[in-house]
Chain A
Amino acid sequence: MKIKVLFAAWVCAGLMQAPAYAKGDAANGQALATQGDGSGAPCAACHGANGEGMAAGTFPRIAGLDADYALRQMVAFQQGKRVNPAMTMNIDNFNQQQLADLAAYFATLPVAAPAAATASQAQLELGKKLALQGDWDNYLPPCASCHGPNNQGVDGNFPGIAGQHASYLKQQLQAWQQGQRQSDPVQLMEAIAKRLSPEQIDAVAAYLASQPAAPQQ
């Protein structure tokens, strides 16, 4: 009984601190990931058994993704602020607690080392320059100025983008350019994406995909 009261107090305190959602339960999330939402495909159908994603299908890696970020994105899909019918239809029956559980589960999954880069050396160098130095003469701050050291992410607002599939990064930069992502409070990424040339998008996506998603142990 006492534990229950304490737990309730802890939940309330959490809610007062930030407009965040309830904390996810990873074990429950694992079960939900396998079951699906009852009317659609389970997560693994596109994102793979270990959340590794699939480059060829532009299905992102979701293993190791910041739980707050993943949850915000799933809510955005449900609300139409991010547009991807596959995502929307496959998670539309989940309530927010279930989404939080899923996000908590995928956050716990380990990330495999990035695949060997297939891009040219020149492309990787251009990508590295954009990612770490930016191109200020075209008002492009480096990716790392928001996505953190080595672009491995800061928090639920600034996800890690290193070690993500290049195909997905490219698709999402284009989605930002086209105004298809409206889920961020300040739309920081939209302004940047709209200044990127197709060549820069290819280069930065290729470079980021070749980088480790988490600090080397």
Chain B
Amino acid sequence: MKLLNAITLSLAALFTASLSVAAIAMQNNDMSQVKLPSMKPGQYDHQAPTLADIENDSELHPELKKVVLKGRDLFMNTQQLRGKYVFNDMNCKSCHMGEGRMAWSGPVWPAATTLPDFRGKNGHVNSLEERIAGCFSFSMNGTAPEYGSDTMLALAAYHQYMAKGAKVYDRNIGGRGFSSLGKDIPKDVSFGQGAAVYANNCAVCHGPNGEGKKVDGEVVFPPLWGDGSYNWGAGMTRIFTAASFIQNNMPLGQPGRLSDKEAWDVAYFINGQERPQDPRYTGDAKETRQKYLNFHKATLYGTELNGKVLGQHDNTGEKPFLKPEVLKPRTFGDE
């Protein structure tokens, strides 16, 4: 009897509570907004197909459909290549969010519409497969599946299918890559303030020490620094790349939550931490920085921060080698 009374009382109190609740609700009306940059006039945009589009495409040969879906599976769960091609905790989707389809999150279809193309990072013309190999070498701290292999074919097929119907070689693409905040690091960028932004907005998922989170060995939130993260040669080590990625994609589900300043500061903080060695390492981080300054001018690699030269170490993380075979210069005319 006493119990029943307590329950009845509790339920009755529910009604009075809804009044005080309305007041709390007023403060948070804009949480549902997705604050992303707008496309500039004249910029080309393309709606990449969804999984359902792939599944329902009756014009796709069943064998090709199988390969495209395999590519998607590898893209979403790249950890299935762990220990062979992948030596950290990343998946393709860790940086190319939303199945690699989202503008402002490194959508992958532009790779299929603009390659082969000259690439400043390695100074020669790259194919789509070579571009994918770049991600394996740096972002995945590993080595690429062999060109023409089943795995590489599947990944390339997924990229290509994402570009279905898109204009080829139109380079004025909106929402491509990660550079919406521009490439100039603000003069007042602050490691200390970045640490605070990190603690307040990022640590709940990525851990207090950037270590990420796993459940039974399966990565849920990727590490942002340390052995499990992207290496010193990854595009994401560039402060501007990380700042733009963060502002337009993080915290998950809340793009645009952070101010420009907060995004720059936290990108500086994250990329001011140690991570596996750049595969192009010469044995001296400062020297390597100078050799690849076109890239590293946007990173903190080989510079002194908090009394230490970043990247001056022999740690390649879980990867049992430094430089994958696939990273080699290519020129025409001498073959």
Contacts and interface: CB of A to CB of B under 8 A. Distances in A.
A215 interface: yes
Nearest to B93: A145
**Interface size band for B:** 35 or more
B25 A178 contact: yes
B259 interface: no
A68 B126 CA distance: 50
Nearest to A176: B31
Contacts of A45: 3, 6-7
Interface residues of A, number: 43
Contacts, number: 112
Contacts of A186: 200-201, 204, 251, 254
A191 B31 contact: yes
A89 B32 contact: no
Given A86-B7, A194-B31, A149 B218 contact: yes
Nearest to B98: A136
Contacts of A139: 34, 253, 255
A40 B213 CA distance: 38
B122 interface: no
B106 to A, nearest CB: 14
A89 B13 contact: yes
A41 B3 CA distance: 6
Interface in A126-154: 133-134, 136-137, 139-141, 145-146, 148-149, 152-154
A157 interface: yes
A85 B10 contact: yes
B153 interface: no
Interface string A105-138: 0000000000000000000000000000110110
Interface stretch (B14-22, B280-288, B312-320, B323-331): B14-22
Contacts of A145: 220, 252
Contact of B200 (A40, A137, A185): A185
A193 B218 CA distance: 25
Contacts of B63: none
Contacts of A140: 253
B51 interface: yes
Contacts of B97: 136, 141
A28 interface: no
B6 A40 contact: yes
A136 B253 contact: no
B28 A179 contact: yes
Interface in A71-88: 83-86
B204 A185 contact: yes
Contacts of A153: 215
Interface of B: 3, 6-7, 9-11, 13-14, 16-17, 20-22, 24-28, 31-32, 34, 50-51, 97-99, 101-102, 200-201, 204-205, 213, 215-216, 218, 220-221, 251-255
Given A139-B255, A146-B205, A152-B215, 19 more contacts: A41-B3, A45-B7, A46-B7, A83-B20, A83-B21, A84-B14, A85-B14, A85-B16, A86-B7, A136-B101, A146-B221, A148-B215, A148-B218, A155-B213, A179-B21, A179-B24, A187-B28, A188-B251, A192-B253
24 contacts: A40-B10, A41-B3, A83-B24, A84-B14, A85-B13, A85-B16, A85-B17, A86-B14, A89-B9, A89-B10, A90-B10, A134-B98, A141-B97, A141-B252, A145-B220, A145-B252, A179-B25, A184-B204, A185-B200, A186-B201, A186-B254, A187-B28, A191-B31, A195-B32
